[in-house]
Structures are given as C-alpha cells and as structure tokens.
C-alpha cells in the first residue's frame, strides 16, 4: 500500500516554471527531493504531505508530529531511506 506522509521543507529550488519547483524535504531525519508544483504557497519550514515524490498539500506541524510518532512506533521510518 502506498501512503502519503508528512515532511518538513528544508530548502526550495525555484525552477524555470512552477512545474519545476522542487525542494529538499525531511522525513524524521531522512531527506528526499520532492516536487513542490502542487503547493506553490509552501515555504521553507512548512510541513507538506508527500505522495510518490510530490507534495500534495500543506499540513499542520502538530499533525505531522503525531504521524511521525505513529511511524516510529510501527518501525516504518526506516523504510523511507530505502530506494
């Protein structure tokens, strides 16, 4: 099953167009490059929901923290680092 998970934007690279806007997003210590085209108003330090490499919406920091805690309890955070 594929899940969307929250991550915190740590940097943004603006592209030549909105579709090329990408950022480095941290998921409980693991950093991945994510397309930010669907969240044009997102800025550094915002939390976003990410599904298959695309940020699809912004999320409240408290909700993101709850999800990370559940993932830690289930031992799922390690899977994020696997490619």
CATH number, position 26: 2.30.30.140
pTM, 2 dp: 0.81
Q: State residue 32 phi and psi, 5-degree precision.
A: -135, 155
Q: Distance between the two ends of the chain, CA-based, in angstroms?
A: 16
Number of domains in the chain: 1
Which residue range(s) make up the domain with 74? Answer: 5-80
13-70: per-residue pLDDT in tens?
987 787 889 999 998 788 999 999 999 999 999 999 999 999 999 999 998 888 878 8
């Amino acid at each position: 099953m594929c899940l969307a998970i929250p991550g915190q934007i740590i940097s943004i690279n603006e592209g030549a167009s909105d579709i090329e806007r990408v950022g480095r997003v941290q998921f409980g210590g693991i950093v991945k490059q994510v397309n930010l085209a669907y969240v044009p108003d997102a800025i550094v330090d915002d939390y976003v929901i990410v599904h298959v490499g695309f940020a699809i919406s912004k999320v409240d920091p408290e909700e993101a923290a709850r999800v990370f805690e559940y993932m830690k309890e289930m031992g799922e955070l390690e899977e994020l680092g696997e490619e």
